[in-house]
Every structure is written in C-alpha cells, then in structure tokens.
C-alpha cells in the first residue's frame, strides 16, 4: 500500500482545496481570498495537512517559496470550467504526474464524474495516472462525483456509497466524496470504500454551525477527514473556522 503519512496527521487529514477559481470562476472569490498567498498562509496557520492547487498556482506561488517547507502540496491533474453547461461532464487531464512531482506534489488528485457518458475516458485517464503515481510512490486522490443524466433522480446516499466502492476498485488511495447526509450513511460509505480512505468535500457555503456539525459527523464516522474550500476561505473568519475544524479532528 502507498504511504499516505506525508499528507496525514494521527490518521486524520484536513486539506484546503483551492481549485474553485477554475471550476466555478471568479464569482467564488473575493478581494482577499483571490490571492493564493492568503490561502497558503491560512493553510499553514490553520494546521492543514496539505493545500490542493492546479499546476499554474503551484508553479507561481508554491515553487521556490518558503511554503514548500511549511505545507505539503496536492496537485489536481484535471479540471474544467463551468462555462460549458453540459449534463454529461468531462474533466480532461491538464497536468502529468511527472509535472506535478516536479512542482513538489506529495500527492495528486483527479475528478471522475461517474455516470457521465464520458465516464470511460475518465477511467482510462485515471488508470494511467494511478499507475504512474504509484510507480513514483505517491498517493492518488480520486474526487468521485456521480453526475449526468443516467444518475439523475437516483438516491444521493446510495450514489455516494457506490462512489466509495468505485474509489477502492480503481486503486485510489483516498477518495473524495460529497457528504452523504448523516452518520449512518457516512459509515456505509466507509464500509464500501474499505481500505481506501475517505475525505469529504465542504460543498457550497453554508452557515458555520451547519458546516461544523457536518465536520463532527465526518470525524465521528472514522473517515480520514475533509478536503474543504469555500466553507473555510469564504468565511468571514477563515482563521477562526479553521481552528474549530482543527479542534474537531485533532484535539477532541
Ligand atoms: P468545496 O469545499 O469548496 O466544495 O471544494 C471541494 C471541491 O471538490 C473542489 O475541489 C472543487 O473545485 C469543487 O468542490 C467542485 O465543485 P462542484 O461540486 O461544483 O463541481
């Protein structure tokens, strides 16, 4: 099994995700959080185990900076914008494993939209990525988001449980999923994912209490942790909410 300890702490992990500028566009960002250096400082001060960037931000803000020694980097290898309104999403690979490693990545990430009519292309790309990353001894994180008309109307909890199993079967070391809604479903997701570790995404910004109670349940379920973006860096108090999140996962 691939060693995930460089991006975990005491069998838990909090990753600060920051690829939304590509995925959603500038409307997700404000005058403060649009600066990647703000995110890097937040990640270091908040005790996160890694930051998640696309290659351009990694190359311009992380490489050669003091942050290289302060916080591990996860490079997202594929991506897409929300400009194309397509019910059948495809997220192409835009960075190689080799390039990610040259930027200092300690792990790589890839999104698969299972259920999309392009699912097979994403499986194929992921297969190569997994092989190359494991050859170099670095973990692969699969964002597995069921999307497309074939999954429309299907039960979200069941789909998330299925997504966990897909992560295990395709060789992901960590699978990143949407929150399935409650503790019981979280436990089923973990059972389904087996030895593949589970992190939960933060999702759209919600009020702080709702977000933190979701985090409590994720922790209680025994999941590895969370890979969160907007609920932290869109908060009015990003340092404050980071501290609360850290306390849930590391000091309780
Ligand atoms: P958030 O915590 O902000 O939801 O980030 C998690 C994430 O997976 C990001 O890595 C990615 O940019 C975004 O969600 C994708 O969101 P969407 O569900 O709109 O595709």
Q: What is the pLDDT of residue 181?
A: 96
pLDDT tens-place string over residues 1-11 = 999 999 999 99
Exactly one of 62, 110, 113, 145 is catalytic; name it: 145
Q: What is the pLDDT of residue 252?
A: 74
Exactly one of 55, 76, 176, 219 is catalytic; name it: 176
Cβ of 230 below 6 Å from ligand 1: yes
Q: What is the pLDDT of residue 190?
A: 98
- Report how far ligand 1's centroid is from the alpha carbon of 77 (Å): 14
**Beta strand 225-228 pairing with 174-177:** unpaired
Q: What is the pLDDT of residue 86?
A: 81
Cβ of 143 below 6 Å from ligand 1: yes
Mean pLDDT of the chain: 97
Q: What is the DSSP string of the chain?
A: ----GGG-BTTBEEEEE--HHHHT-GGG--TTTTSHHHHHHHHHHTT-SEEEE-HHHIIIIITTSGGGGTS-EEEE-B---SSS--SS----B-S-HHHHHHTTEEEEEEEE-TTSTTHHHHHHHHHHHHHHHHHTT--EEEEE---SGGGTTS-HHHHHHHHHHHHHHTT-SEEEE---SSHHHHHHHHHHHTTSEEEEE--S---HHHHHHHHHHHHHHT--EEEE-HHHHTSS-HHHHHHHHHHHHHT-
With beta carbons less than 8 A apart as the criterion, state whether 114 and 161 touch: no
Cβ of 23 below 6 Å from ligand 1: yes
Q: What is the pLDDT of residue 64?
A: 98
- Report how far ligand 1's centroid is from the alpha carbon of 5 (Å): 24
- Per-block mean pLDDT, blocks of 10 residues, the chain (252 long): 97 98 96 98 98 98 98 98 91 98 98 98 98 98 97 97 98 98 98 98 97 98 98 98 98 84
Closest CA to ligand 1's atom 7: 201
- Report how far ligand 1's centroid is from the alpha carbon of 63 (Å): 24
Cβ of 17 below 6 Å from ligand 1: yes
Give ∠ CA 174-177-178 in degrees, rounded to 5. Answer: 160
Nearest to 90 by CA among 113, 123, 120, 115: 113
Residue 176 annotated among the catalytic residues of the structure: yes
Q: What is the pLDDT of residue 85?
A: 85
């Amino acid at each position: 099994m691939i060693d995930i300890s460089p991006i975990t702490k005491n069998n838990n992990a909090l990753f600060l995700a920051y690829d939304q500028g590509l995925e959603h566009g500038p409307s997700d960002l404000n005058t403060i959080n649009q600066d990647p250096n703000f995110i890097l400082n937040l990640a270091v001060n908040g005790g996160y185990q890694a930051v998640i960037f696309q290659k351009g931000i990694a190359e311009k803000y992380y490489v050669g900076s003091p942050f290289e020694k302060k916080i591990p980097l996860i490079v997202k290898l594929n991506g897409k914008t929300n400009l194309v309104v397509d019910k059948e999403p495809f997220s192409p690979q835009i960075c190689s494993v080799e390039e990610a490693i040259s930027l200092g990545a300690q792990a790589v990430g890839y999104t698969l939209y299972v259920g999309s009519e392009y699912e097979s292309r994403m499986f194929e790309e992921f297969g190569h990525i997994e092989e190359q990353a494991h050859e170099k001894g670095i973990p692969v994180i699969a964002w597995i988001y069921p999307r497309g008309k074939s999954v429309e109307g299907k039960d979200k909890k069941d789909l998330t449980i299925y997504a966990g199993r897909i992560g295990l079967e395709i060789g992901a070391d960590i699978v990143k999923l949407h929150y399935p809604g409650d503790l019981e479903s979280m436990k089923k997701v973990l059972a389904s994912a087996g030895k593949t570790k589970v992190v939960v995404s933060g999702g759209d910004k919600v009020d702080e209490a709702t977000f933190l109670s979701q985090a409590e349940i994720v922790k209680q379920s025994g999941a590895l942790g969370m890979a969160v973006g907007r609920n932290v860096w869109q908060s009015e108090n990003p340092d404050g909410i980071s501290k609360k999140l850290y306390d849930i996962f590391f000091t309780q």
